[in-house]
Structure 1
């Protein structure tokens, strides 16, 4: 150990930096990603204290015009987490981004700053597997049964027949966006912003 420390001290500043990078690269990357995710969620929370509803878009590209349209149609102030990526086997180039997205979702849920997830089938399956979602059928029955007839045919069910998401591909602005895969909506299992969640569903 003494020999190793002595050798390190003899290196030039550039060589020391290269040595640290070579041996601690993974630790540095993970730490930076974690710090960025934490600062991102803190910034979002600070900038959205007056929001009626918090929506995360996972594995689905949306632009500002789409989120503005949804906000305008619903009459809600919506704070959006956009461009989140969740993948089963991320490649090296998007591993850090996927990790940051997962951290952002967990942080938002822990802070009770996430109400709705909109994404592809993998995003919904991942959210369900993480126990983020509630049963949309039970939610609608308990809070506004008049919506049930419209949404029941659109429920996505697990192998046991229990609903966990809603296919919203046919509703604007998603129906007009030209997606090649279905788009789904999942309701976060929390007691926050119930009326706003219902308002969004009513708008759709």
Structure 2
């Protein structure tokens, strides 16, 4: 049976009874042949809407962004730094906590060094770009680092005054965190550019020193990590998640 070219003509010609006589497969084929384009558009549209809705529903809220700079963590410590903290938050408030809807972003494999003989020196440039971008986007709150990285973050003025931050935290007492305080120096201004142009000039700088980190090598969850060198914890000055950073410090360093 040959079908008319358009369905409206098909009915106008009084052939409705012939349409009714078609089986289901023939009707589907007819509709698809003449309406495949709008059907395809509708399917794509529904897919996009569904995909966006699913992404919105399943999207996790990032509670904290943490970075390991010149520090490597084993499997257990990696869990403690990420999933363990989310479980800790749920234990604090089981009614509101939801580990399946929240996340902690842990940046690993980041290295900062000026030593060309360091085996990780080749990763320094890429790491520096990623760190600066994360700081500018306010997607880096807490950093764990060795002394070289601690000096670099401090000198650039990235780290907040931890004594002031923790002093105002109601959940912590001074005797808990004061033994771990580590001071460092921020360079407020210097003549480094002039020295590069004229080597006869003497380098001069205006600096300020204050507690920018905690030496956490032997504190809390880090005791079993087996670090041979000191590891420092710092909080980024522009972090919009200061309260969560304080709770992170309490969980990592001060809980038994």
Relative to the length of structure 2, the TM-score reads 0.56
Tell me which of 139, 151, 154 is aligned to 1:113. Answer: 139
- Total equivalences in the alignment: 157
What's the secondary structure of 2:140's corresponding residue?
A: coil
Mapped pair 1:195 → 2:243: yes
Greater percentage in helix: 1
C-alpha distance after superposition, 1:82-111 (max 9, x if no partner): 011111223497444101111111010011
C-alpha distance after superposition, 1:112-169 (max 9, x if no partner): 1000010111111110011110010011123337332211111111366621110111
Hey, what's the Cα distance between the residues in 1 that align with 2:239 and 2:230? Answer: 27
Mapped pair 1:180 → 2:180: no
Residue 49 (structure 1) shift: 6.0
- Structure number with higher relative contact order (C-alpha < 8 Å, ≥ 6 residues apart): 1
Give the superposed CA RMSD.
Answer: 2.3
Q: Which runs of 5+ in 1 are unaligned?
A: 1-47
What's the secondary structure of 1:150's corresponding residue?
A: helix
C-alpha distance after superposition, 1:26-55 (max 9, x if no partner): xxxxxxxxxxxxxxxxxxxxxx96211111
Alignment of 1:66-145 (within 5 A): 66-75=77-86, 77-91=103-117, 94-144=120-170
What's the secondary structure of 1:128's corresponding residue?
A: helix
Q: Which runs of 5+ in 2 are unaligned?
A: 1-58, 90-102, 186-207
Relative to the length of structure 1, the TM-score reads 0.69
* Residues 131, 72 of structure 1: alpha-carbon distance in 2 compared, 3 angstrom cutoff: same
The structure that has the greater radius of gyration is: 2
Residue 172 (structure 1) shift: 3.9
* Residues 181, 92 of structure 1: alpha-carbon distance in 2 compared, 3 angstrom cutoff: closer
Aligned to 2:61: 50
* Residues 92, 58 of structure 1: alpha-carbon distance in 2 compared, 3 angstrom cutoff: closer
CA contact (8 A) 2:147 2:232 kept: yes
Alignment of 1:9-20 (within 5 A): none
Hey, what's the Cα distance between the residues in 1 that align with 2:184 and 2:145? Answer: 17
Greater percentage in strand: 2
* Residues 93, 64 of structure 1: alpha-carbon distance in 2 compared, 3 angstrom cutoff: closer
